A and B are shown apart, each in its own frame.
Chain A
């Protein structure tokens, strides 16, 4: 059924801290690694060792520059499905293959009923859906549905692959429908925001903006240079140094 269910109380999603992300792409790589054997496996690569290698990824890291001169910022920007509250990718689906889960709000594709018309990818403003030319069906981030509820994993590992691997802890996973959850508090404290709010898709995933620069850093009394002047050697070595320096 591609009509949307009533809004779920639980809204599982990600909070991505653009102040912390170092742009290492580990989240994208671990996403590919896990999901190549996960719920939507395989994530087909075409011409993987050739000149025109391309394939399906659920998570991609873009890097942007914003502003000019000293005030400008370089921001690494990971982007995956935002599991919107009003996902038009679901409502445009003619077959019912795309759906939003009632229990936790995760948006999924049923690969057994998808006809591969690609209309959902046109309806997504964010480019979250990628067509698998080999399988002939649309694929997308599952929020690692096969990890977060997986009782065979240690409880600490029941988070999406991108979150578990991030070496900088720039990615947070949780219930954004619960105002008291750690992720909701983070969003409230740091001014987390929606991407393209003008589209009115109400994305669940939030982005935390880069923090303000700490003005005045570096004036704590430390020497401005680490290269301390070496005392001139005396005696024979000093004579040699003076001769050789001529």
Chain B
């Protein structure tokens, strides 16, 4: 599948944004962070900026961005629509919580209700993003049980890494930075195991569809393309016949594992052990590397995905 830059940016940015939003909302709900201008603006500000930038960029690849509002109408059947609705609904508790947290001193009841609602909606939104891919039967690398946990855990990991860096800078006192740092380590470890499992799965399991099932000519023997329908290219070949990454897949997987998991884990662990200004810097590097690494992972997620339509253009197995 063609890895469109806008979709990669959207899923990485909104994943990290919702992860950060859920982390801050839960910390606020249970009184682990104190309301204030600094953390309010930097924390909720960054979370909502990441989410909003992601959602806006997702409209860039539309043929008609001005009609994007229509995507909120078909939540009964479409996960893309559900994602849009969940994203819009999330703004209500998140916006209220961010306002109260930043400029006022909300009571524990308001913090609990708004915090839990914000976190739940953030999780639901990222879940819907994962389900958009999960339900697509023609793409074997997407239509499997690894995909949705991958989106959820990588969103949580990048969000926790960002939250860790923010807390070190804006609210270093109390137990919150250490709790978030340890949670980030756990999420990064879970992400590492999930992606290793996902890659092992897609390498080991063949797709159900072959050139024989696509044409129904298997009774005669092996089926191969003799002549394409045309000498040039077409939309299907451009959108679904992407091949560049497979050549570099092994190396890119290594880069993704280093940048998204191993290095952020090492830097976060060092921050937890060292504390002080060094911890702030280490946490920032960990968050930046984590987001970069997940962007590489996301690029691979598209580039390694093979659509059944390629069976009609010379592929023997999708």
Q: Is the CB of B226 within 8 A of A196?
A: no
A54 neighbours in B (Cβ, 8 Å): 232-235
Whether A94 pairs with B71 at a CB distance below 8 angstroms is yes
Q: How many residues of A contact B (CB 8 A)?
A: 73
**In the bound complex, CA of A197 to CA of B84 (Å):** 32
Residues in chain A near residue B220, CB distance under 8 A? 66-67, 71-73, 210
Of the candidates B70, B138, B225, B232, the one whose C-beta lies within 8 Å of that of A113 is B70
User: In the complex, A199 Cα to B309 Cα: how many Å?
Assistant: 12
Give the segment of B178-186, B211-219, B249-257, B283-291 that binds chain A.
B211-219
**CB of B247 closer than 8 Å to a CB of A:** no
Q: Which listed residue, B136, B208, B225, B309, touches A127 by the CB 8 Å rule?
A: B309
Contact A116 B239 (CB under 8 A): no
Instruction: Please state if B221 and A71 are interface contacts (CB–CB under 8 Å).
Output: yes
Q: Which of A4, A62, A122, A195 contacts B227 (CB 8 A)?
A: A62
Are B214 and A196 closer than 8 Å at their CB atoms?
yes
Contact of A60 among B137, B219, B230, B307 (CB under 8 A): B230
B232 and A92 contacting across the interface, CB-CB below 8 Å: no
> Would you call B113 an interface residue if the criterion is a C-beta within 8 Å of the partner chain's C-beta atoms?
no
Interface residues of B in 225-272 (CB under 8 A from A): 225-230, 232-236, 239-240
Closest to A119 in B: B80
Give the contacting residue for A95; candidates B74, B229, B309; CB below 8 A: B74
Contact B63–A95 (Cβ < 8 Å): no
Of A131-139, A163-171, A177-185, A224-232, the one contacting chain B is A131-139
B64 to A136, Cβ gap below 8 A?
yes
Bound-state CA distance A125–B311 (Å) is 10
Within 8 A of A (CB), among B11-63: 61-63
> Chain A contacts of B216 at CB under 8 A?
193-195, 207, 209
Contact A114 B74 (CB under 8 A): no
Take A53-B232, A64-B223, A196-B214 as given contacts and tell me if A122 and B70 are in contact as well, using a CB distance cutoff of 8 Å: no
Determine whether B119 belongs to the interface, using a CB cutoff of 8 Å to chain A. Answer: no
Which residue in B74, B81, B235, B307 is a CB contact (below 8 Å) of A131?
B235
Q: Which B residues touch A150, using CB under 8 A?
A: none
- Counting chain B residues whose Cβ lies within 8 A of the other chain, the interface size class is 35 or more
Of the stretches A33-41, A74-82, A151-159, the one at the interface is A74-82
Q: A88-B135, A121-B239, A135-B63 are in contact. Are A209 and B219 (CB under 8 A)?
A: yes
CB distance from A113 to the nearest CB of B (A): 6
Chain B: which residue is nearest A116 at the CB level? B63
Instruction: State whether the Cβ of A26 lies closer than 8 Å to any Cβ in chain B.
Output: no
B239 near A137 with CB under 8 A, answer: no
Looking at the assembled complex, report how far the CB atom of A90 sits from the nearest CB atom of chain B, in whole angstroms. 8
Instruction: With a 10 A CB-CB cut-off, give which of B63, B70, B233, B308 has the most chain A CB atoms.
Output: B63
A75→B215 contact, CB < 8 A: yes
Closest residue of A by beta carbon distance from B238: A54
Cβ distance A91 to chain B, nearest Cβ, rounded Å? 4
User: Is the pair A113, B227 in contact by a Cβ cutoff of 8 Å?
Assistant: no
Kindly list chain B residues whose C-beta atoms are within 8 Å of the C-beta of A63: 225-227
Q: B224 within 8 Å of A by Cβ? A: yes
B91 at the interface (CB under 8 A from A): no
Bound complex: CA A196 to CA B76 (Å): 27
User: Which residue on chain A has the smallest CB distance to residue B212?
Assistant: A66
Which A82-123 residues have a C-beta within 8 angstroms of B? 88, 90-97, 113-119, 121-123
Q: Which residues of A contact B205 (CB under 8 A)?
A: none
Across-interface contacts of B218 in A (CB, < 8 A):
66
Q: Is A189 an interface residue when CB atoms closer than 8 A count as contact?
A: no
Give the number of residue pairs across the A-B interface with Cβ within 8 Å: 207
- Asked if B151 CB lies within 8 Å of chain A CBs, one says no
Residues of chain B in range 185-221 having any CB-CB distance to chain A below 8 Å: 208-209, 211-221
Given contacts A94-B81, A195-B216, A196-B308, contact A115 B68 (CB under 8 A): yes
CB-defined contacts of B312 to chain A, threshold 8 Å: 62, 79, 126-127
Per the bound structure, the CA–CA distance linking A75 and B81 in Å amounts to 41
CB of B132 closer than 8 Å to a CB of A: yes
In the assembled complex, the CB of A132 is this many whole angstroms from the nearest CB of chain B, namely 8
Q: B66 — nearest CB in chain A belongs to which residue?
A: A115
Smallest Cβ distance from A60 to chain B, in angstroms? 4
Residues of B within 8 A of A65 (CB): 223-226
Bound together, the chains give a CA A132 to CA B235 distance in angstroms of: 8
| B73, A199: Cβ atoms closer than 8 Å | no
Q: Does A146 contact B (CB under 8 A)?
A: no
Indicate which residue in A60, A123, A138 contacts B229 across the interface (CB closer than 8 Å): A60
B310: nearest residue on chain A (CB-CB)? A127
Q: B217 contacts A52, CB within 8 Å? A: no
Q: How far is the CA of A130 from the CA of B238 in the complex (A)?
A: 11
B77 at the interface (CB under 8 A from A): yes
10 contacts between A and B (CB under 8 A): A18-B217, A92-B77, A114-B64, A116-B64, A121-B235, A121-B239, A123-B135, A126-B312, A193-B216, A199-B138
Binding site for A on B (CB under 8 A): 1, 61-65, 67-68, 70-74, 76-81, 84, 132, 135-139, 208-209, 211-230, 232-236, 239-240, 307-309, 312-313
Give me the interface of A with B, judged by CB distance under 8 Å: 1-4, 18, 23, 25, 28, 52-57, 60-68, 71-75, 77, 79, 88, 90-97, 113-119, 121-127, 130-133, 135-138, 193-201, 207, 209-210
